[in-house]
Chains A and B, each alone.
Chain A
Amino acid sequence: MTDKFNLLSDEQLANISSGKLWHFHGGIHPHENKLQSNQASIRDAGIPPTLVIPVENKGHVPELLVNVGDTVLKGQPLTKVYSAMVVQHASSSGIVTAIEKRPSLHPSGLPVTSIVIKTDGLDRSVEYVKPPAYQTVAPALLVEQIQQAGIVGLGGAGFPAHLKLVQHEQIKLLLINGAECEPYITSDDRLMQEQAAEIIEGIEVVNHILKPQLTIIAIEDNKTDAITSLQQALKNSPNKENITLRVIPTIYPSGSEKQLIEIITGQQTPLGKHPSELGIVMHNVGTVFAIKQAIIDAKPLTSRIVTLTGDSLEKKGNVSVRIGTPIQYLLDQYWNDDTSIKQLIIGGPMMGFTVHSADAPVTKICNCILTPTAKEMPAPRAEMACIRCSECANACPANLLPQQLLWYSKSQDHDKLNDYNLSACIECGACAYVCPSHIPLVEYYRISKAEIKTAENEAKKAEIARLRHENREARLAQAKIDRQAKHKQAAEKRKAQLKEKNGGEDLIAAALARAKAKKVTESASVPDKTQSPQKDAVAAAIARAKAKKAALAEKNSAEQENTTIETAAVDPKKAAVAAAIARAKAKKAALAEKNTVEQQDTTTETAAVDPKKAAVAAAIARAKAKKAAQAEKNKTEQQDTTTETAVVDPKKAAVAAVIARAKAKKSALAEKNTAEQENTTIETAAVDPKKAAVAAAIARAKAKKAALVEKQPLESQSQAPDNSAVIAERKKRKEQARLHKQQKEQIQPEQQTEPSAAEIKKAKIAAAVARAKAKKVNLAKNSESEEQK
C-alpha cells in the first residue's frame, strides 16, 4: 500500500495551490500541427457495417456473455469482469456473426480474440436507467460501476480507470490531464471545448470518490479555446471551490504523467513507484468525461473521440468513433487519395506506432489516426554513428543518459541498462528528435525493453522449472526409500516365515556359519564339529579340502596303495558309499598323516572294505590335486588377460567377476571330475553329469550376472552418485535371497537320512556351488566396499 512518508505535505499542497509551477528536465518544442484538426467540431463517424471488438487483454480472454448468432444492443455487455479487466460492450446494435481471432490494434498486428458484430444500422441501445444521484452512493460502488462501464484511461495507455480510483483515503491531489502535448492530436482539446460542463461534472464524481484536498486541471497554454470553455464551465459549476484550472507552458512531453506531476507539484515520482505514493492521482479529461457518462447517465463506454489527421486525408478533424470500427471504414469516409498512403500511425508522431493493416479496429486506446504523406513525413534519414554530443541527455525529460542506454542496448547488456534505469524511459522520443545523427533511439529502447521483459520471463520460468525438477527429484528419492523400506519389511517377513517353517532355524545365519567354518578349517585345519543340520554338507566340503592335503601326504604310500586299486569291487552302491566314507576318513588322514596306514591296518572290522576305500580315496585325491592345479592355472591366466585391458576403477569389479567365474568353473570341473569318476563305477548315475552340467551352467550364469551387477553401479555412479549405495544394497539383498533359495534346495536332500550315492553327490555339488557363491559374494562385497571407499 501507499507509503505515507512520500505523501504530499500540507505545506507542499499550499505551495501547489498558490499557483506556482515547476519544470521538468529537458523537453522539446516540436511543431504542433494541431490546427489541421482542431478547427472543426466533433462529428459522428457513423455506424460501420461490421464492428470488431477485441475482448482479449494480455493473453486473457474473459468469460463471454454472448454467442454467435445473438442479437446485441448498443451498450450491452459482451464480457464478464475478469480480475482487473474492464467489461467490453457492444457499440451498436446488430448480430454477433463471429467470435474469432482478428488483427489487433497493436504494433505487431497479431490477431486477438474479438467479437464480430454485423450492425443493423438502427443503433438500438439498451435502456439506460437513470441511477440515483452519485452523491448518495458509496464510492466503492461507484468504482465498481466504472469497471462495469468499461472505462480505461483514454489518454493512450489504456490503464483501467477503476484501479486509479480505489485508494481514496490517501489521495491529496487529483490531477486532470488536459495537456495533450503530442503533435497533431486534438481530441482532448476539442472535447474540452465542446463538453467542458460534462468534464467538470465528471471531475466532481471523481472528487466524490477520491475526496482529494485539491483538484487541478492542467492545460497547455496553446489551447486557448479549451481554457476559455473550461473556465466558463467552472464558473457555472456549483462545487468549484477546490477545483483549479492551471495553464502550463507548452513543452513536449508535459502530458506524460510523471512530467506533469513535476510541473504542477515539483515532485519527482520515485523510480518504480506509482504517483499514488505521493498522494496524487491523475486522470485524462477524456476518462473523466467517460466517468461522467457512466455514473450520471449510466452509459457505458462505447465510443471515443479520435483525431483523424495527416495530409492524406481530405477531411481532417475529430470524430466520435464507436469502439470496434475498422480503421478502413474511417479511411473510406475521409480518404483523399489512395496512392498517397504512406503509413498509418496510431497515436501521435512522437509516441505512436505504425500499423500495417487498416482492418484493425479502433480501440479505447486509439486517440489519433495519423496518415501523413511522404512530403509531410519523409523517410527517416540514414542512421549515423553517435558522436556523444549529449543533446539527447539534455532533452530527456526523465533525466536519463540516452547515449549510454543506446550503447548498452546495442550490446544487449541488460545489467547495465538496468543500472542506467532504462525502465524509467517513457519512450517520448525527445532524444531521437534532437539527435543530429538521426539515431532512432526509442526504437532501440523499445527493443531492449522487450528483450529484458522476455529475459525476465524466461528467468522466472527457468526458476519454476528448476523448483519443479528439484521437487520431482526429491519425490522420486523419497519413493525409492519408501519402496526399499517396504521391500526390506517384506524380506524380513519372508525370513521370519521361513524360520518358522524350518523349525526356528535361521538359514542365512547357518549359511554364513558354514562359510566361516570352511574358512576356519582351511586355515587352521581343525576339525569342525558343527551341530547344524547341514553337517553332512559341511563335512563333505571339509573332506574335500582335506583330501588335497591327504593327496600330498599319501604320495609316499601311493605306490603301495596303487596295487590294491585293481582289486576294487564293482558294486556301485558300495563304492559310492565308500567314496563318501573315504572322504570322511581323509580328514583323519590329514590329522595324522602317518597314522593313516596304521589305522587302516589295525581296524579289523572294516578290513573287507578298506582296500577298496583306500583306492577310491586315492583316486579322488589325485583328481582333486589335478583339478586344483588346473583351476589355479586358469585363474592366473584369466586374471592376466583381464588386468591388462581393465581400467583402474572397473578393474576390481572385473577381477572379482573373473575370480567368481573361475570359482564357478572350478566347481564345475570338480563336479565333472567326480561325475566322470563315478560314471565309470555307477550305472545309475547316468543322469548326474547332466545335473552337474546344469549346476555348472547356473553357477556360470550367476557369476556373469554378478559381474554385470557390479559393472552397472559403476556406470550409473557417474550419472547418479547416490544410487550406488542403493544398488549395492539391493544386490546384496538379491544375493542373500539367492543364497537363501539355494540353501533351501540344498537342505532338503541333505536332511534325508538315507545316504544314497546320488544324494551324496547332489549334496556335494550343492556344497561346491554354495562355496563358489559364498566366495563370490565375499569377493563382490570386498570389491564393492573398496569402490565405495
Chain B
Amino acid sequence: MIENIALAVIALACLAAIFGALLGYSSIRFKVEEEPIVEELDAMLPQTQCGQCGYPGCKPYAQAIANGEDINKCPPGGDTVMRQLAERMGIDPKPLDGEEKPKLIAFIREDECIGCTKCIQACPVDAIMGATRQMHTVITDECTGCELCVAPCPTDCIDMLPIEITTQNWQWNLQRIPTKINTEL
C-alpha cells in the first residue's frame, strides 16, 4: 500500500521535474522579445512636447500612462490618439481632458523681437533660431505648435498661426471628382 503511494509520488515528482525543466528551458530559449510598452505609447503620442498633460514631454507622459496615468490628457493628439492609447492599454476611452485645437505654428514678428533668447530656451524641439540681441525666427518645419515659447516672450511678439493650406497638404473632399458619366446620349 505505502509502496504504491510512494511510487505515485515519485513518478509525479519526476514528471513535475521534467516538465518544469522543459518549461524553464523553453521560456529562455523561445523568449518573445516584446517592445517596451513605453516606447509603443511614446510612438502614438504626437511628440509636440508641449507639456499640456502635466509632464515635461511626451516620453514622460508615455511612462506615466504605462504606470496607470489617465489616457485623455493629450489635447494635441486629440480623440484619435486617446483611442489608440485606450486600445493599447486595454481600457475604455475617456472624453478628452482639454480642447482639441487645429495645429498651429509659432511665428515671430521679427520687428518686435529684442533677441532675449527666452523663447529659444523654452522651445522643446530647438525649432527657434537666433542669438543674444539678434533677431530670432521659427523653423516652421520643425515647430510642433506647443505654444511654450509664447508665454516667456517679454515683447509678446510670437503669434500662433494656422498652417497655410497649399497644394501639398490640401485634402480631397467628396464631390470633387467626376468618375462617371452618362454614356447613353
Encoded as 1 (CB less than 8 Å from any A CB) or 0, chain B from 119 to 162 comes to 00000111100000000000001101000000000000000000
Question: A380: nearest residue on chain B (CB-CB)?
Answer: B180
Kindly state whether residue B49 has any CB partner on chain A within 8 Å.
yes
Expressed in whole angstroms, the Cα–Cα distance for A354 and B175 within the complex equals 9
List 16 additional A-B contacts (Cβ < 8 Å) besides A110-B165, A719-B55.
Answer: A107-B176, A112-B167, A349-B179, A350-B179, A372-B181, A376-B182, A440-B180, A443-B172, A443-B174, A450-B171, A461-B47, A463-B47, A465-B144, A468-B142, A469-B57, A470-B59
Q: Which residues of A contact B180 (CB under 8 A)?
A: 349, 380, 429, 432-433, 438, 440
**Cβ of B4 < 8 Å from any Cβ of A?**
no
Residues on the A chain within 8 Å of B141, using CB: 461
Q: Quick check: B170 and A108 within 8 Å, CB to CB?
A: yes
Please give the distance in Å from A430's CB to the nearest CB on chain B: 9
A residues at B contact (CB < 8 Å): 30-31, 33, 58-59, 104, 106-108, 110, 112, 183, 343, 345, 349-350, 352-354, 372, 376-378, 380, 429, 432-433, 438, 440-444, 446-447, 450-451, 454, 457-458, 461-466, 468-473, 719-720
Chain B positions within 8 Å of A30 at CB level: 181, 183
- Which B residues contact A (CB, under 8 angstroms)? 42, 45-49, 55-59, 124-127, 141-142, 144, 165-185
A-B complex: 3 closest residue pairs judged by Cβ atoms: A31-B183, A462-B47, A429-B179
- Complex Cα distance A457/B166, Å? 14
7 contacts between A and B (CB under 8 A): A378-B182, A433-B179, A433-B180, A443-B179, A465-B49, A468-B142, A720-B56
Q: Are B171's CB and A442's CB within 8 A?
A: no
Q: Which residues of A contact B177 (CB under 8 A)?
A: 107, 352-354, 440, 442-443, 446
What's the least CB distance linking A530 to chain B, in Å?
49
Tell which of A350, A378, A464, A469 has the most Cβ of chain B within 10 Å: A469
Q: Are B168 and A472 in contact (CB under 8 A)?
A: no
Which residue of B165, B172, B175, B181 is within 8 Å of A377 (Cβ)?
Answer: B181
Q: Which residues of B contact A469 (CB under 8 A)?
A: 47, 49, 57-58, 124-125
Interchain CB contact under 8 A, A464 and B142? yes
Complex contacts, A444 vs chain B, CB 8 Å:
174
Query: Smallest CB–CB gap between A326 and chain B, Å?
Result: 18
The answer to whether A468 touches B126 (Cβ under 8 A) is yes
How far apart sit A470 and B172, CA to CA, in the bound complex (Å)? 35
| Interchain CA distance A296-B156 in the complex, whole Å | 61
Q: Return the chain A residue nearest B169 by Cβ.
A: A454
Query: Would you call A447 and B173 a contact (CB within 8 A)?
Result: yes
Docked Cα-Cα span, A642 to B95, in Å, equals 39
The answer for the CA separation of A376 and B182 in the assembled complex, in Å, is 6
Q: Is the CB of A33 within 8 A of B182?
A: no
Task: State whether A110 touches B178 (Cβ < 8 A).
Answer: no
Complexed CA–CA distance, A183 and B183 (Å)? 10
- For A466, give the chain B residue with the smallest CB separation: B47
Closest A residue to B63 using CB positions: A721
**A432's contact among B49, B127, B179, by CB below 8 Å, is which?**
B179
The complex places the Cα of A108 from the Cα of B168 at a distance, in Å, of 10
- B58 contacts A110, C-beta separation under 8 Å: no
Q: Is the CB of A352 within 8 A of B178?
A: yes
Cα of A441 to Cα of B183 in the assembled complex, Å: 19
User: Quick one: closest A residue to B173, CB to CB?
Assistant: A447
Is B125 a contact partner of A468 (Cβ separation < 8 A)? yes
Given A58, A442, A468, which contacts B179 in the complex, CB threshold below 8 Å? Answer: A442
Which residue of the partner chain B has the closest CB to A349?
A: B181
Partner of B172, one of A31, A104, A350, A447: A447
Residues of A within 8 Å of B174, CB to CB, are 440, 443-444, 447
Q: Which residues of the partner chain B approach A343 to less than 8 Å between Cβ atoms? A: 178
CA A458 to CA B144, docked complex, whole Å: 10
- A432 vs B179: C-alpha distance when bound (angstroms): 7
User: Considering only CB atoms, which chain A residue lies closest to B46 in the complex?
Assistant: A462
**Chain B residues positioned under 8 Å from A463 (CB to CB):** 47
Report how far A441 CA is from B42 CA in the complex, Å.
35
Q: Are B179 and A466 in contact (CB under 8 A)?
A: no
Decide: A59 and B142 in contact? CB cutoff 8 A: no
Question: Which residues of the partner chain B approach A470 to less than 8 Å between Cβ atoms?
Answer: 59
Are B125 and A110 in touch, CB under 8 angstroms? no
Whole-angstrom CA separation of A450 from B176 in the bound complex: 14
The CA-CA distance from A86 to B124 in the complex, in Å, is 39
Measured in the bound complex, the distance between the Cα atoms of B127 and A378 in whole Å is 51
The answer on a CB contact under 8 Å between B181 and A473 is: no
Whole-angstrom distance between the Cβ of B1 and the nearest chain A Cβ: 58
- Min CB–CB distance A126 → chain B (angstroms): 30
Q: Is B176 a contact partner of A376 (Cβ separation < 8 A)?
A: no
Closest chain B residue to A343, Cβ basis = B178
Please tell me if the beta carbons of B179 and A440 are within 8 angstroms of each other in the complex.
yes
- A451/B183 in contact, CB under 8 A: no
Residues of B within 8 A of A350 (CB): 179
Q: Which residues of A contact B179 (CB under 8 A)?
A: 349-350, 429, 432-433, 440-443
Query: Given A454-B171, A720-B56, A354 and B47 touching (CB < 8 A)?
Result: no
In the complex, the chain B residue whose C-beta lies closest to that of A465 is B47
Interface centre among B142, B171, B173, B180 (most CB of A within 10 A): B180
Minimal Cβ-Cβ distance residue in A for B56: A719
Q: Chain B residues near A454 (CB, 8 Å)?
A: 169, 171
- Give Cα A108 to B167, complex, Å: 7
Closest beta carbon of chain B to A368's beta carbon, Å? 13
Question: Closest Cβ of chain B: how far from A694's Cβ, in Å?
Answer: 38
